[in-house]
Structure 1
Amino acid sequence: MQPTFVVLTDMSASAEVALTYTTRLAQLLHGRMVLLHVYLDPMLAPEAAAMASPITVTSRKETMAYMVQRAEELPVPAEAEIVLDMLSPALADVVKRHKPVLLAFGREEPFNLLDRLMGNWALPFLQQAQHPLLVVPEVWKDTSLPQRVVVATDDKAFWLSAPSLALTELMASLKPTTTVVHVAEAAGPSRADVGLASAMRTGLFGHLTDNSLYEVCEEAPADGILHAASELKAQLIVMLARPHTFLGGLFHHSVTADILRRSPVPVLVLPTTA
């Protein structure tokens, strides 16, 4: 079965950046793409529908025609889907039918409607599905595949969810240089080795050694992660989303939220089971 990559699109410039980036990943695995547009009916969500797309559309038919045309232009097999539904049920249905490697969407500057919908509507589904999520900032213009990856860890052990571990083939194909980053907000004994050991145990991030660890001291977590990513010239930041992170609001009250809002490079969120 061809690996499937699902890109959520509102036909904006940020969605196009995410589509281009994700298509390159699909090409690497000889995979396929699904372009998903959630059509917001004005009767169901008037405020959201008024802001849903930068392209003036008068009907779902016009939207679908645009989506089909864009799918046909991609260098990999692709199909377009338009759904008149809330985002969470739409994602659940797509995941059930296509079993994608990951879900992706673009982040506009500042946060756009699709970003807010992901935070408000999709979280219950993501919490249940434990599915990887790729967020590509609109400002990202690098056309190469990620070769320098930063994995942000804390002082607690983690185990990745099965869908996260399903990215093994993709990561093996990328063959990136991976650095595990640990940020200590205050002085004291370091527990950076716990996160490094967990990252090693997953087998997802290639060959890691003690030299793969990068520690940042006495900085706020998000600041430290972004500082490290800049120093290391990272092309991808991997964040770990624990179950309690989803419950607390992935896009609202967490380090992951801060990274997703501020990162100038793509961010891959990997759900964990603990």
Structure 2
Amino acid sequence: MQPAFVVLTDMSAATEVALTYTSRLAQRLDGRLVLLHVYLDPMLAPDAAVMASPILVTSRKEIIAYLVERAQELPVPAEAEIVVDMLSPALADVVQRHRPLLLACGREQPINLLDRMIGNWVLPILQQAHQPLLVVPEVWQSTELPRRAVVATDDKAFWLSAPSLALTELLTSLKLTTTVVHVAEATGPSRADVGLASAQRTGLFGHLTENSLYEVCEEAPADGILHAAAELHAQLLVLLARPHSFLGGLFHHSVTADILRRSPVPVLVLPTTA
């Protein structure tokens, strides 16, 4: 069965960037795409965690017609689905049926619109699906797949979940040059080696040595990670979503959320088991 990549669509410019990027990833594995649009009448559930489409449509038929046409234009096999449901159960159903390698969505500009996306898209994905999540910023214009990646780690060991480890073939095919970035605490000994050892153990990021470690001092975690990614000319930023990040209150104040709002490069969020 062809590996699946699910792209959450709202027919925005940001979605188009994510769709193009994810199509290129799918081509690496002869994979397929699923274009998922979650449709819910705001009159029925005004507080539902869904994103409103930026395109004015009069019916679900118009949406599905657009998505089907767009799917036919892609360079890989693709299908379109529109579901009338809340986002969380829709994701659960899609994951069960398609067993995707990852879920992808676009990040809109200006940045303040992402605050809504963080709650409406990312949090339900991490809470319910526990799948790897790719967030592609609307400003990302590169036509090439990533060759330089940064993996952001803290001072605690981590073990990736089974869905995260399922990305081994894809990430290996990219032949990434990977740097493990650690933002050191203001005081106390460095524990950068802990994150490096955990990244090495995953086998996802190519050959890592002590020279693959980049430590940042005297910066806030999100600032340090983003500055390091810029200095290293990273084309992909990998973040770890630990189980406690699935709690809404913590997530909204986490380093992960801050980086997702601000990163100028695509971000891959990998769930861990610890």
* TM-score over 0.5 for the pair: yes
Partner of 1:223: 223
Q: Which amino acid aligns with 2:161?
A: S
Map 1:114-193 → 2, pairs under 5 A? 116=116, 119-120=119-120, 123-124=123-124, 126-193=126-193
Aligned to 1:194, the other structure's residue is in SS state: helix
Alignment CA distance shift 1:164-1:51 (3 Å): closer
CA distance in 2, matches of 1:161, 1:48: 29
Alignment CA distance shift 1:172-1:141 (3 Å): same
Map 1:248-259 → 2, pairs under 5 A? 248-249=248-249, 251-259=251-259
**What TM-score do you get using the length of structure 2 for normalisation?**
0.94
Q: Kindly, what percent of the aligned residue pairs are identical?
A: 84
1:116 Cα deviation (Å)?
2.6
Q: Which amino acid aligns with 2:150?
A: V
Partner of 1:30: 30
Aligned length: 274
CA distance in 1, matches of 2:36, 2:251: 21
CA distance in 1, matches of 2:229, 2:95: 31
Partner of 2:237: 237
Q: Any idea what the Cα deviations from partners look like across 1:191-216, whole Å, max 9, x if unmatched?
A: 00000000001111111011100000
**Structure 2 unaligned blocks of 5 or more:** none
Please tell me whether residue 88 in structure 1 is matched to residue 92 in structure 2. no
1:245 Cα deviation (Å)?
1.2
1:43 Cα deviation (Å)?
2.6
Partner of 1:212: 212
Partner of 1:17: 17
Alignment CA distance shift 1:2-1:112 (3 Å): farther
Q: Which amino acid aligns with 2:219?
A: E
Between 1:126-135 and 1:50-59, the stretch displaced more is 50-59
Alignment CA distance shift 1:155-1:90 (3 Å): same
**Structure 1 unaligned blocks of 5 or more:** none
1:250 Cα deviation (Å)?
6.6
1:121 Cα deviation (Å)?
6.5
**What TM-score do you get using the length of structure 1 for normalisation?**
0.94
Q: Which amino acid aligns with 2:217?
A: C
Q: Which amino acid aligns with 2:253?
A: H
Aligned to 2:100, the other structure's residue is in SS state: coil
Between 1:13-22 and 1:37-46, the stretch displaced more is 37-46
CA distance in 1, matches of 2:218, 2:58: 53
Q: Any idea what the Cα deviations from partners look like across 1:227-260, whole Å, max 9, x if unmatched?
A: 0000000000000000011125475110000000
Partner of 1:198: 198
Q: Any idea what the Cα deviations from partners look like across 1:71-95, whole Å, max 9, x if unmatched?
A: 0000100000001111010000000
CA distance in 1, matches of 2:158, 2:38: 33
Between 1:113-122 and 1:68-77, the stretch displaced more is 113-122
Question: Is the contact made by 1:89 and 1:125 (CA closer than 8 Å) also made in structure 2?
Answer: no
